[in-house]
A and B are shown apart, each in its own frame.
Chain A
Amino acid sequence: MAPTGGAVSHPQTGKQVVDHGFLAARAKVLEIAAFLDRLDRAHEAHSAQDDFRIRALRAAIQELSAAQPGRAARIQLIFSDLSTEPAPTAQGLKPAVGAALRPDLKG
């Protein structure tokens, strides 16, 4: 009989995960750093610093330093609309941009 699929631990050692993934993760962190530097150098950069997407991004970056696992799910929630009622109509709603307008996320 074949077993049904329960959760499995990652089959590799921590060192193997680092050996394979470190350069890619390093590159992604540098991309974010360079993006924020680019934003600082942009014309009228101050107006974008309070953009709701940048506020969400900064909150997500803070979450990266959390010690407990589940970072990806928690970062997804930072970018999410956490309201619970359906919208009355689609009129006036913009296409998804990747972050919800969240007054609780401070600049």
Chain B
Amino acid sequence: MRIIDPHIHMVSRTTDDYQRLSLAGVAAVSEPAFWAGFDRSTAAGFKDYFRHLTEFEPRRAAQYGIQHYSWICINPKEAEDVKLARDVIAIIPEFLKKPTVLGVGEIGLNKNTRNELTIFEEHVALALREKQLILIHTPHLEDKHKGTKLIVDCLKRTPGIDPGRVIVDHVEEHTIKLVRDAGFWCGITLYPISKVTPERAIDMVEQYGNDRIWLNSAGDWGDSNPMNTLVALQEARRRGHSEAWLERLFYNNPCYFFGQNPKFKLQPTVPVNALTRS
């Protein structure tokens, strides 16, 4: 079975990881722009990072037969500096035209501040103006519930938002219902300590269904495992879920969401218009 890791920060990973992902059947990865572990001082620093995402990583991934896609934004943590954030937002449109960029992301909140919310709204306005998909980061740990609610409320009062073109990532047991009830896509991130284990992720999919949901490793420079999407697939298979159920979750769903942007090249094994309500 081919699978997709729809949220992974390959700039932080070695080429060995591309090889391991390829050997395990990963056909494509998508990489949202994120915090580098330190605050960048200029918009030019972000421009170089966006070139890395859109020029170097697709070439590196292609050596292992993996399609690499990316998302462009200034991440929520650095968005606290509104002047810098607006300078960065000004250079985003030129990168949205690149052949492997799927949309605006990962935007959202970090510490749930007014400045972060202002820049989130400006990113959303940009995405709507440019007719882009949106990928959203929700805050960590004790800040997640409040941040997710602020984000969902903000999107609900924004005219022109199509929930089917927005994914709210890093949902957990206390936020998944909030996001699903509003009609947005959900992402579940598989982190060893600070987010969700593969077992809990499969529990949530069993409880809420495998429609409009994906699982990702969000592998990065921190405590993470780029193979965790595969570990979750193994756990779901061990429990006895059908191959069609697994394929829907680990391959077709990312294809359905990404496929709304014609730049995404992979096709689902079951066309989206062949799905029926069960």
> Are A5 and B211 within 8 A (Cβ)?
yes
**Interface residue ranges of A1-26 to B (CB < 8 Å):** 1-12, 20-21
Q: Say what secondary structure dominates the interface of chain B.
A: helix
Q: Name the distance in Å between B48's Cβ and chain A's nearest Cβ.
A: 25
A99 at the binding interface (Cβ < 8 Å) = yes
Q: Name the distance in Å between B20's Cβ and chain A's nearest Cβ.
A: 25
Task: Decide yes or no: A89 and B115 within 8 Å by CB, A4-B211, A7-B207 being known contacts.
Answer: yes
B244 at the binding interface (Cβ < 8 Å) = yes
Q: How many residues of B contact A (CB 8 A)?
A: 47
> Are B278 and A86 within 8 A (Cβ)?
no
> Are A3 and B117 within 8 A (Cβ)?
no
Chain A interface: which of B25-33, B90-98, B139-147, B158-166? B139-147
> Are B143 and A96 within 8 A (Cβ)?
yes
Partner of B113, one of A77, A80, A90, A96: A90
Partner of B173, one of A2, A73, A93: A73
> Are A3 and B277 within 8 A (Cβ)?
yes
Task: Decide yes or no: A5 and B210 within 8 Å by CB, A82-B145, A84-B149, A89-B114 being known contacts.
Answer: yes
- Indicate the size class of the contact surface on chain A: 35 or more
Chain A interface: which of B55-63, B126-134, B257-265, B268-276? B268-276
Q: Ordered nearest first, which 3 A-B pairs have the shortest CB separation?
A: A5-B210, A3-B278, A76-B174
Partner of A77, one of B112, B145, B276: B145
Task: Decide yes or no: A11 and B113 within 8 Å by CB, A1-B274, A86-B150 being known contacts.
Answer: no
Partner of B208, one of A7, A86, A93: A7
> Are B207 and A88 within 8 A (Cβ)?
no
> Are A81 and B174 within 8 A (Cβ)?
no
Binding site for A on B (CB under 8 A): 80, 110-117, 139-146, 149-150, 172-174, 194, 199-200, 203, 206-211, 213, 238-241, 244-245, 248-249, 270, 274-278
Task: Decide yes or no: A86 and B112 within 8 Å by CB, A80-B142, A96-B140 being known contacts.
Answer: yes
A65 at the binding interface (Cβ < 8 Å) = no
Q: What would be 27 A-B contacts, judged by CB atoms less than 8 Å apart?
A: A1-B275, A3-B277, A3-B278, A4-B276, A5-B248, A7-B208, A7-B209, A8-B209, A9-B206, A10-B206, A11-B240, A72-B200, A74-B174, A76-B144, A76-B172, A76-B173, A76-B174, A81-B145, A84-B149, A90-B110, A90-B113, A90-B116, A93-B111, A96-B140, A96-B142, A97-B141, A99-B142
Given the complex of chains A and B, what is the CA–CA distance between A12 and B139 in angstroms?
Answer: 34
Given the complex of chains A and B, what is the CA–CA distance between A90 and B144 in angstroms?
Answer: 16
> Are A89 and B113 within 8 A (Cβ)?
yes
Given the complex of chains A and B, what is the CA–CA distance between A7 and B177 in angstroms?
Answer: 12
A59 at the binding interface (Cβ < 8 Å) = no
Given the complex of chains A and B, what is the CA–CA distance between A66 and B211 in angstroms?
Answer: 30
